[in-house]
Amino acid sequence: MNTNKFFVGGIIGGVTNFLLGWLVWGMLLMNFMKEHTSEVGKAAMRSDENMIWWALIVANLLLGFLLSYILNKSGATSAGAGASTAAVVGLLMSATINCFNYAFMDMGDTTAMAVDIAASTVVSAIVGGVIGWYLGMGKKAA
């Protein structure tokens, strides 16, 4: 695995994920998710001023590195290959996490769960497409 491609791809993916996350969950789905969150779930969430931003930034970078690692390992070198592989990973990961949260926590309902899984799949596909495009750049130039 090309370490340089992995790191740069991970950072590009992390930044893309952060921006898309802010757009999708921070703006588009904000009110919908609030309507489908339980009262204890709302109480458990930090207010905007209490959010730990360094943790959110680290989390987004880690997601970028995760997709970059998988796409490097799978040999994806185009936006299409990156998007399709990342969509499957995003779908399975998000569905797993949502199922565990639903099993153990009183946070939200199954409607919020289904919408979150769909949104995660689309966002992961776009991030994967961007990373895949980057991974293919060197190969096209060579």
Partner 1 sequence: MNTNKFLVGGIIGGIAYFLLGWLVYGMLLMDFMTNNAGTATGVMKTESEMVWWALIVGNLLSGLALSYVLNKAGVSGAAAGASVGAVFGLLVCAAFDFTMFGTSNIYTMNAMLVDIAASTVMTAVVGGIVGWYLGMGKKAS
Distance between CA atoms of 69 and 30, rounded to whole angstroms?
A: 30
User: In the stretch 47-66, what mask flags binding to partner 1 with x, by CB under 8 A?
Assistant: ----xxxxxx-xxx-xx-xx
Distance between CA atoms of 136 and 79, rounded to whole angstroms?
A: 8
Taking the complex as a whole, how short is the minimal distance between the CB of residue 12 and partner 1, in angstroms?
A: 16
19 touches partner 1 by CB under 8 A = no
Contact 94, 117 (CB under 8 A): yes
Contact 78, 133 (CB under 8 A): yes
How many chain residues touch partner 1 (CB under 8 A)? 39
Residue in the structure block whose two tokens are 């921006």: 19
User: In the stretch 102-141, what mask flags binding to partner 1 with x, by CB under 8 A?
Assistant: xxxxxx----------------------------------
Q: Which is nearer to partner 1, 133 or 141 (CB)?
A: 133
Q: Which of 22, 30, 34, 100 binds partner 1 (CB under 8 A)?
A: 100
DSSP bridge pairs for 37:
108
Task: Determine the interface stretch with partner 1 among 28-36, 81-89, 120-128, 129-137 (rule: CB under 8 A).
Answer: 81-89
- Quick one: tokens of 63? 């997601």
